[in-house]
A and B are shown apart, each in its own frame.
Chain A
Amino acid sequence: MSIELVCPAGTPAALRAAVEAGAHAVYCGFRDETNARNFPGLNFSPDEMVEGVRFAHAHGAKVLVAINTFATAGAMDAWKAALANAEKAGADAVILADLAVLDHAATHHPNLRLHLSVQAAAATPEAIAFYADTFGVKRIVMPRVLSVEEIAKLNAAINVETEAFVFGGLCPMTEGRCSLSSYATGKSPNLTGVCSPPEHVAYSEDRDGTATRLAGFTIDRFGAGEPAGYPTLCKGRFAAGGKTGYLFEDPVSLNAASLIAALVKAGVTALKIEGRQRGKGYVAEVVRTFRAAVEAIDAGGTEVEVGRLLAGLVEGGRQTSGAYKKTWR
């Protein structure tokens, strides 16, 4: 195996589905504000994490625990407990973003392997060296704003592993620094672990189609049969300058399957699939398809048609290679 496939799991059932579909590693989080997918009914209790790690290890897969929100000032107990519970469960690594959480982990859990979350948005050799030298971070999950060429240059200048997103939901903003959800709802993925919290989302149907509202703001309207996207402000459709359209980003999913070989050549250690909020049907299908794609490339065989195979699972019915190919430059 030349490259590691890191796959999402929002529930124990999804973890088992990911492992059985061929994940080399699974990432998941606890059922609280310590991880960036803090949706109702999602995530793991401490006991479920223990069982999840046991299951994954029994099948030769790793478990990476995401504790990747920014801790609340003066109230870090939930993040400290999450680190302790991850270590107790036997996690292979924790994925962190906050400086205080990184410091606590490095000081009190020296045996935990530390990965830097995409939420930390570390994209320069200087920033990455700081995290590696100060806290002993071993892997960086790279922001989805870099091209393949930029990743290759970055890898040549750093001494830690890198992990790159290859499929799933696509944040057009620099992660960890987006305040759109917070502006509308008071909650954000950075602090409360949820972008567009569902208690602020409402759909209403009329004869013209479906309107999507976030905290009372109408952010999109889909005609009958028109593909839909997530109810986030960055993928909302707005009227400005006499035109109506997607001002920030179209509803679209990342698919960098055609760039796997280039990413490996650029020095990437692991490929990450987004989707802890998705069902086990999605997890199994995407993981199985990408495992086949990785193995085909390893064997020097024909490229797997990932885009066609997964077309029914993507946001807005569309796929993009995102910033990996900055065609607008």
Chain B
Amino acid sequence: MADHFRGELPKALRILAAPAGLLPLGPALTLAVRRFARRKPAVFERLGTYGQCSFLIEPSDLDISFLMVPDGVRAEVKCLRRRASQPADVTVRGPLLVLLGLIDGTFDGDALFFNRAISVSGRTDALVALRNAIEDAELTPADFVGVTGTLGRLVDRSVFGGLGLARRFTGSPVAGEPS
């Protein structure tokens, strides 16, 4: 089960991350996804009508979760307290760094499922569509921040470098390695 998968944030970091739930993450992520939809509409065309489905993303090592409807420029992301019981078309659960690795293409979704690093429930067709759209999007941190050029490359290098370090520190798997 995901709870036992290496790669979860250590307890100290979880405590430090707890106040994140108080930040306006939902509105910030909503703006970021809508900005990305205006810049790369083809990603959302690939999603088709599945863009109107709701996806509940539950980092197993945080006390918050995210409810996303990736409907292009009408996309919406809500940040929820973990215990909030929220119905969704699809639920994906796994360690935060692993979920982020799915977004940036570090990890293969099928391999994570085979190894039980993530768990999924709900509409499998919507999840497959979202996974494939994200796969092709080649998302970078700069896309979300909305910066390009030298500053964008700097943001990407810093965030990817930080994520790489965090994955090594938490014992996340590297590609190809069994979990």
A interface with B by C-beta (< 8 Å): 10-14, 39-42, 197-199, 201-205, 210, 222, 224-231, 251, 277-282, 284-286, 289, 309-317
23 CB contacts below 8 A, A to B, read A10-B135, A39-B132, A40-B125, A41-B129, A41-B130, A41-B132, A42-B128, A203-B119, A224-B116, A225-B1, A228-B116, A230-B110, A251-B114, A280-B105, A285-B175, A285-B176, A309-B176, A310-B176, A311-B178, A312-B176, A312-B177, A313-B108, A313-B111
Binds A, one of B16-24, B46-54, B60-68, B144-152: B46-54
B5 CB, nearest partner CB in chain A, Å:
9
Give CA–CA (A11, B132) in the complex, Å: 8
B170 within 8 A of partner (CB): no
Contact, CB under 8 Å: A11 / B136: yes
Judge whether B164 is part of the interface by a CB distance below 8 angstroms. no
List residues of chain B with CB within 8 A of the CB of A41.
46-48, 50, 128-133, 136
Q: A174–B164 Cα gap in the complex (Å)?
A: 43
Q: What is the chain B residue whose CB lies nearest that of A214?
A: B124
Number of interface residues of B (CB under 8 A): 44
Known contacts A41-B129, A311-B178: does B46 contact A281 (CB below 8 Å)? no
* B110 to chain A: closest residue by CB: A278
Q: Which A residues are CB-close (under 8 A) to B46?
A: 11, 41
CA distance A311 to B131 in the complex (A): 22
Q: Are A201 and B124 in contact (CB under 8 A)?
A: yes
Q: Is B106 an interface residue (CB 8 A)?
A: yes
Question: Across the two chains, which residue of chain B brings its CB closest to A224?
Answer: B1
| B172 smallest CB distance to A (angstroms) | 11
Question: How many cross-chain pairs have Cβ atoms below 8 Å apart between A and B?
Answer: 133
Please list the 7 inter-chain residue pairs (A to B) with the smallest Cβ-Cβ separation, ordered nearest first: A41-B132, A40-B129, A41-B129, A11-B136, A282-B108, A198-B125, A199-B125
With a cutoff of 8 Å between Cβ atoms, the chain A residues found around residue B106 in the complex are 281
Q: State which of B48, B109, B130, B179 has its C-beta within 8 Å of the C-beta of A279.
A: B109
Compute how far the CA of A59 lies from the CA of B144 in the bound complex, rounded to whole angstroms.
30
> Which residues of B59-117 are within 8 A (CB) of A?
101-102, 105-111, 113-116
- Knowing A199-B125, A281-B106, A281-B107, the reply to whether A317 touches B114 (Cβ < 8 A) is yes
Chain A nearest Cβ from B143, distance in angstroms: 13
Q: Taking the nearest CB of chain A, how far is it from the CB of B27, in angstroms? A: 27
- Supposing A225-B116, A312-B179, A317-B178 touch, asked if A279 and B110 sit within 8 A by C-beta, the answer is yes
Classify the secondary structure of B's interface with A: helix
Using CB atoms, name the residue of chain A closest to B117: A312
Chain B residues with Cβ below 8 Å from A282 are: 108, 110-111, 175
How distant is the Cα of A228 from the Cα of B1 in the complex, in angstroms? 11
Knowing A311-B177, A317-B178 are in contact, say whether A203-B120 is a contact too (CB < 8 A): yes
Let me know if B158 is at the binding interface, CB within 8 A. Answer: no
Q: Which residues of A contact B1 (CB under 8 A)?
A: 224-225
B114 touches A314 (CB 8 A): yes
Contact B131 A312 (CB under 8 A): no
Q: Considering the chains assembled together, what is the distance between the CA atoms of A285 and B173 in angstroms?
A: 13
Of listed B46, B108, B122, residue having the most chain A CB within 10 A: B108
Query: Given known contacts A40-B132, A279-B108, is B115 in contact with A222 (CB within 8 Å)?
Result: no
Given A40-B132, A313-B176: 19 more A-B contacts, CB < 8 Å: A11-B136, A13-B105, A39-B132, A40-B50, A40-B129, A41-B48, A41-B50, A198-B127, A203-B120, A227-B114, A228-B115, A251-B114, A279-B131, A281-B105, A289-B176, A312-B173, A312-B175, A314-B114, A317-B114
Distance in Å: Cβ of A29 to nearest Cβ of chain B: 13
Contact between chains at B124 and A199 (CB < 8 Å): yes
CB contacts (< 8 Å) of B179 on chain A: these are 312
Interface flags for B18-57 (1: CB within 8 Å of A; 0: not) read: 0000000000000000000000000000111010000000
> B4 on the interface (CB 8 Å rule)?
yes
Alpha-carbon distance A103/B173, docked complex (angstroms): 48
Q: How far is the CA of A229 from the CA of B50 in the complex (A)?
A: 25
A210 and B118 CA atoms in complex are apart in Å by 12
Q: How far is the CA of A233 from the CA of B136 in the complex (A)?
A: 29
Contacts of B126 in A (CB 8 A): 40
Least CB distance, B170 to chain A, in whole angstroms? 16
Q: B132 contacts A10, CB within 8 Å?
A: yes
Chain A residue nearest in CB terms to B101: A281
